[in-house]
Chains A and B, each alone.
Chain A
Amino acid sequence: MSQVADECIALIAKQKSIAPEQIRLDSTLEELALDSLDRVSLAFDLEEKYDIEIPESKLEQIKTVRDMVTGIEEAVRQKSADLSTTG
């Protein structure tokens, strides 16, 4: 599993007080009882950590842990692409 995936799972586990082993990449945010406030809060923590911004439209499409990991990895790739273009 990627480092981003580990990070996402660790944060969800902490936020919901559940064991990380109970969280799979295919777990839906609904199954994990992440309500809308949990989701924006989690997204914020990840955005801060990776210094990225996940577009609002993308946030709404995130249904599973895997979607979340993909969203972050895309945003990180996008950021480094932007940096290399501007740099």
Chain B
Amino acid sequence: MKRVVITGVGCITPIGQDAASFGESLFAGRSGIREMTDRPPDLHFTRTATVEDFRQEEWLTASQRQIAERSSAFAIAAARQAVTQSGIVAAHPSDSIAIILGCSVGGRSTEDREAEKLHKHGGRIHPLTVPRVMASAGTSLVSMEHGITGPAFAVSTACASGTHAIGLAFHMVRSGAVRAALTGAHEAPLTYVFLKAWDSLHVVSPTACRPFAADRDGMTLGEGAAVFALESLESAGARGAEILAEIVGFGMSSDAYHITQPNLAGPAAAMLRAIEDARATPDDVGYINAHGTGTEVNDRVEAEALHRVFGERARTLPISSTKGLHGHAIGASGAMELLATVLALRANLLPVNAGLVGAVVDPALGLDHVLIENEPASPSLALSNSFAFGGLNAVLAVKRHH
């Protein structure tokens, strides 16, 4: 089995449109959560984490602009950054590179617009609606731009889509099924219908998301993309590519329990499987980038799962959710959080659980080391957790590469 390393990253997020600016915001605790400028009526919340000033015309060719709606445009921009940094496309045969991208909801903006036209005026739907709306459009457009002809598909597991996608890509490179992979996730869910749909679930914060806080009152929706270039340690070493981090484990599970309510057994199993897949033990884990959505139930159940896996150590384990910064970008959130984890390992600095400023960590969770500020540390192993609606869980284990 091969060791798998990250040699390129790219992102378009509410807190930065490349990895360097994402990292600056991450460690400055600068949140991308803001009042919506064009707010639909009748919502119980006013804030989202929106990607502002994303200039599609700078990233997309004329032919890409015809097909790519916002979600795919994020994918194209983030993937190009990862390809440029890593050089994997030039370094490997095009049919030995995989593209696996997470995307939960596809092209919402196109679907909303066409549906509104249809319901108001009847008539026809734009012929590009299908290729714009399909959740795999981003994967196809990235493949076309870079001429990548290996295995390519999209993964849809709601809020765990990105983590599942990256985990599958990691396993494919590790097993030697492919030599390299572009993987991550993209999502643009901030449309009128989707915002209203989330509003109806009563899980969105009327203020701003503050995971693990005693007075937490829900999640904050976000959007964006993060994409990674993966390859084997030996190929990265042979061509002198810069190694950003090593992915060492991936665990998945299903709660088989409820379509929205989480259950502690599933998340705990996914964490344990990721640790086992990394040939490690829970004692090796020194940082958790939590799923931490900021809803009452999610954070409570994640804390219980952490106690199940780490026992008494859960109290002292450094934990942060970075959703208070970049928001919850649904399928793309796991990819952004892996990026946060990778940057933390490289900087030897664990990022603050943003949103907690002025709030108190919920004592009922039994997590005494939720990071109220950045903390210098060099953990030997870090986990990035994603636990989706419908009980679909995915966890990645990463290491700093020495």
Contacts and interface: CB of A to CB of B under 8 A. Distances in A.
Interface of A: 14-17, 37, 40-41, 44, 47
Given A37-B131, A41-B127, A41-B128, 10 more contacts: A16-B63, A17-B62, A17-B63, A37-B127, A40-B127, A41-B66, A44-B124, A44-B126, A44-B127, A47-B124
Contacts of B127: 37, 40-41, 44
Interface of B: 61-63, 66, 124, 126-128, 131
20 contacts: A14-B62, A15-B62, A15-B66, A16-B62, A16-B63, A17-B61, A17-B62, A17-B63, A37-B127, A37-B128, A37-B131, A40-B127, A41-B66, A41-B126, A41-B127, A41-B128, A44-B124, A44-B126, A44-B127, A47-B124
A16 B62 CA distance: 7
A9 to B, nearest CB: 16
Interface of B is mostly: loop
A70 B131 CA distance: 29
Nearest to B124: A44
A12 to B, nearest CB: 12
A40 B127 CA distance: 7
Contacts of B62: 14-17
Contacts of A16: 62-63
Contacts of A14: 62
Nearest to B67: A37
A23 B33 CA distance: 48
Contacts of A44: 124, 126-127
Contacts of B124: 44, 47
Contacts of A17: 61-63
Contacts of A47: 124
Contacts of B126: 41, 44
Nearest to A38: B66
A53 B250 CA distance: 53
A14 B124 CA distance: 22
A55 to B, nearest CB: 13
Nearest to A44: B127
A11 B367 CA distance: 60
A3 B6 CA distance: 55
A31 B124 CA distance: 29
Contacts of B131: 37
